[in-house]
Amino acid sequence: MTRAALRATPAAVPFRLAHLSDPHIGPLPKPSLRELAGKRLTGYVNWIRRSGIHDMDVLARLTADMRAQNPDHAAMTGDIMNLGLAAEFPLAEAWLRTLGKPEDVSFVPGNHDAYVPSALPRIADTFAPWCRGDEPQSAAFPFLRVRGDIALIGLSSAIATAPFLASGRLGAPQREAFEAMLRGTGARGLMRVVMIHHPPWRGGAAPGRGLRDARAFEDIIERAGAELILHGHNHRLLRRAIKGAERDTPVIGVASASAVPGTPRHRAAYHLYEIERAGNGWRIEARVRGISAGTGEFADIETFIL
């Protein structure tokens, strides 16, 4: 019996949600001299400097391990690409398909996906199957997907920035629609999971790298509430809480899906959440799946309850 069928029975199993981010897939297609104009030149130099950080074999193993866990849904919170080159988009789309069917995988873009202004229209065209809401919507973001008792809300903080900046912004129209989605799904008694690339609190990233309207985001959560917020961007496990309407909302950042050096919290990992109702609230158990220092295989390296 499938997990979906089991959830339909009286003794339903928890909803299993996988979260991964920042794979920065390579090898990077060779850019033309014209494409290297402006911000891409500094980005290309940076990519060469850190080319050993992101290992595609590790990413393939992580993806296989995630699929083997049989999640009900996967959340991918951005930075599939590196410089937003036209040649990167087909590679990014092909990789995203390895995670599962578009209806079972939700994607929100990161700053590297929107590296330059010309990349923004391509994001909407290429990734539409993974960020299409259940109902028709006037804009690509935010989007809402309801799976059982889980409301998955995707936000785009991806904007093109000047060289040496990696900040993000939601903007007033998206924030307004986001708050309406939180209120509507909250009134329905759904468990609201918010997906965003940048850490959505003040001070969540170094200067020039954070969410510009983080204060406004925090205010929305305080007014409307949410049950879980997932993000990437910082390439490491981060645990935070934002004040909510009735209780604090956990905010969890995940490591890069392909990074190999550094401390254990910077090495490649993904998170697996088991979500189930508990009285008038929700019980969320998180498992961090990464490479075991002892065996070199993917295993649970940390667990925590939210």
Select from 267, 226, 264 the least CA-distant residue to 247.
226
Express each pLDDT in 173-183 by its tens digit: 999 999 999 99
Helical (H) or strand (E) element with 120: helix 119-126
Q: Which residues pair with 270 in a beta bridge?
A: 289
Give the distance from CA 197 to its chain's centroid: 5
User: What pLDDT is stored for residue 264 in this prediction?
Assistant: 67
Cα-Cα end-to-end distance for the chain: 28
Q: The sheet that has 105-107: what strands, in order across it?
A: 105-107, 73-76, 15-20, 269-278, 281-291, 298-305
Q: Considering the entire predicted model, what is its pTM?
A: 0.93
Fold of the CATH domain 14-305: Purple Acid Phosphatase; chain A, domain 2 (3.60.21)
Pairing label, strands 281-291, 269-278: antiparallel
List all residues 6 or more positions away from 138 whose beta carbon is below 8 Å from its beta carbon: none
Rounded CA-CA distance 158/22 in Å is 13
Rounded CA-CA distance 35/45 in Å is 13
User: What pLDDT is stored for residue 23 in this prediction?
Assistant: 96
Express each pLDDT in 234-250 by its tens digit: 999 999 999 999 899 99
ω before 14 within 30° of 0 (cis)? no
User: What pLDDT is stored for residue 9 in this prediction?
Assistant: 42
List all residues 6 or more positions away from 294 whose beta carbon is below 8 Å from its beta carbon: none
User: What pLDDT is stored for residue 145 in this prediction?
Assistant: 97
CB 277 within 8 A of CB 149: yes
User: What pLDDT is stored for residue 10 in this prediction?
Assistant: 42
Rounded CA-CA distance 108/128 in Å is 10
Phi, psi dihedrals of residue 299, rounded to the nearest 5° = -155, 170
- Give me the residues of the chain with pLDDT under 70, please: 1-12, 138, 263-265
Q: Which residues pair with 106 in a beta bridge?
A: 75
User: What pLDDT is stored for residue 109 in this prediction?
Assistant: 97
User: What pLDDT is stored for residue 39 in this prediction?
Assistant: 82
